[in-house]
A = this chain, B = another copy of it.
């Protein structure tokens, strides 16, 4: 029984790491679909929805069962509670990546990203994927130093997000209102994706140390004055 218990506890961490990998892959593909106006890739990403739901509900089921039947304490309890928090963040990351893919599908055969904004979208995509990969590593290795470094990377994402707003509001923006609205929403999706990746990594800090710093590090939206 004890062995099964520890196998199931370990499975929780592994579920989280695999779900994190899926969320990162989904954002990578969604960004590619958006930049290349690739409809079939966008559809593929959108179809990951059911898989993400299933991974979340499987993880929650294992966590709830462990709580109910094993009454874990101390660090084991923190593993279970963190898993409940972390899968919520990971599912949101997947959902946000799917929003990006839906924007690509909605605009097809056109690209939803006018030329002026493409480098910024590519950079936001790359930053988001990097954060997801780092969160996966933090989940697998419990490397708290890396968890703390991710906060700085999140600041990079915020800066890219500010540059997106600045580009939309500059007199050089000639693509009009519709594409600007699309891009503003896309910028928000990438920025939230990064926030959730950092939040997931912070939950690992709680898991290891018991220090509950809160999972939501979302900075306020600070669009440039204009």
Contacts and interface: CB of A to CB of B under 8 A. Distances in A.
Contacts of A99: 220-221
Contact of A223 (B73, B106, B168): B106
* Chain copies in the assembled complex: 2
Interface residues of A, number: 48
Specify the main secondary structure of chain A where it touches its partner: helix
Interface stretch (A22-30, A34-42, A85-93): A85-93
B185 A169 contact: no
A200 to B, nearest CB: 13
Nearest to A186: B221
Given A102-B222, A168-B177, 11 more contacts: A61-B212, A64-B77, A64-B212, A85-B88, A99-B220, A102-B220, A165-B181, A173-B177, A177-B177, A184-B184, A188-B188
10 interchain residue pairs of minimum CB distance = A71-B71, A181-B184, A177-B180, A178-B226, A99-B221, A169-B178, A184-B184, A102-B220, A177-B177, A180-B181
